[in-house]
Amino acid sequence: MVKLALAGMIAIAGANGPVRAADGGASGERVATYHIVGPIYRVHAAHLQEWMGRQRGVTRIDIEIDSPGGMMDAGLAMGATIVKSSVPVRCVVRGTAASAAFFVLQHCRERIATKGAQLMTHEPRQATSGTMTRQELAAAAAELTLMARVWNSILAVRMGLPLAEYESHVDKGQDWRMTPAEALKVGALDRIE
């Protein structure tokens, strides 16, 4: 269990990197910090939800991101958890926020990146394995098309872009890579630190 320290920090290993809580010092702000490091899987979405539910007495939650992305449904679940938070959630990219990690970033009240950060978004992709009938493949394609429309719509709204403009950057499987300055310009970040 993460406990808020009166001063300093307590580091505890989390499912997806260390989890820290700190006292805000003179500002009186009590901040809990969660780290998303590496690929995002369903277990991480469940861990974030459980961890955020345990935070008591904090005035802000910081999520530090350095991730190449991961599973689409895990990104959706993490985004929903962040949006439901009763305290402000601030995300800071300290490395990479790509794919599902970029999606998570867009759900934070304040979106920040360090100067050397790398950001990338694209339409959701789905890996398949095994054999599928023609009908199963068609159903999977229809579901992915619907999910891409939802995913793209959420990102376009959060970035303040018309859906057609957002989709023009990710259409036909393109990766949309951005520097922090470019991300700030298109509404994917609120500030650079």
What count of other Cβ atoms lies within 10 Å of the Cβ of residue 81?
Answer: 20
Supply the residues annotated as catalytic: 99, 122
| CA 150 to chain CA centroid, nearest Å | 16
Long-range CB pairs of 126-129, under 8 A, 24+ apart, other chains included:
126/72
What is the secondary structure of 49-117 as a DSSP string? HHHHHH--S-SEEEEEEEE--B-HHHHHHHHHHHHH-SS-EEEEEEEEEETHHHHHHTTSSEEEE-TT-
d(CA 161, CA 41): 28
Distance CA 108, CA 61 (A): 10
